[in-house]
């Protein structure tokens, strides 16, 4: 059950980030899957690619799937919650000034980078 709650949170946050800033898998999902679920970099990238499958990720999905680097259950949960989160993130972003939006995004990128540099 904890895994489901974490996946829902990741999906909603990623969707909101995607709706606000146009980012998602590489910046939010991949580090989250590594830190919260202990996935390898390949598994996290494969699972991230799987939930953003159509149309841009289809060929990458096939390669990751054949190599056994995709968690279909996690990708499905993330896809649904990302869809929902992106709606709310875009609604929020539309109501923020460019300056505030840029600062929020910069802070998030810095924090994610520090977390990846300093460890698990």
Burial of 38 (0-12, 13-18, 19+ CB in 10 A): exposed
Provide mean pLDDT across the span 68-91: 88
> Nearest Cα to 24, choosing from 61, 42, 49, 43?
49
Q: What is the pLDDT of residues 89-106, one digit of tens each?
A: 888 878 888 888 788 878
Dump pLDDT digits (tens) for 16-70.
Answer: 887 777 676 678 888 888 889 998 878 887 788 777 766 666 777 788 889 998 8
Domain coverage including residue 107: 2-118
pTM of the model: 0.64
Looking at the structure of the chain, the number of domains it has is: 1
Q: In the 8-state DSSP scheme, what is residue 119?
A: -
pLDDT of residue 53: 64
Confidence of residue 3 (pLDDT cuts 50, 70, 90): very high
Residue 24: φ, ψ to 5°: -175, -90
How many alpha carbons fall within 13 Å on the CB side of residue 6?
Answer: 14
Instruction: Dig out the tokens for 102 from the structure.
Output: 């840029």
Q: H or E segment at 26?
A: none
């Amino acid at each position: 059950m904890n895994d489901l709650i974490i996946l829902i949170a990741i999906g909603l946050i990623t969707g909101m980030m995607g709706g606000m800033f146009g980012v998602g898998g590489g910046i939010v999902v991949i580090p989250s899957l590594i830190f919260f679920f202990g996935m390898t970099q390949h598994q996290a990238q494969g699972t991230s690619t799987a939930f953003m499958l159509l149309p841009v990720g289809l060929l990458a999905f096939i390669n990751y799937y054949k190599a056994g680097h995709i968690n279909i259950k996690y990708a499905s949960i993330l896809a649904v919650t990302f869809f929902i989160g992106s709606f709310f993130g875009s609604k929020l972003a539309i109501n923020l000034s460019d300056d505030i939006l840029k600062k929020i995004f910069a802070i998030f990128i810095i924090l994610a980078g520090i977390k990846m540099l300093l460890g698990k």
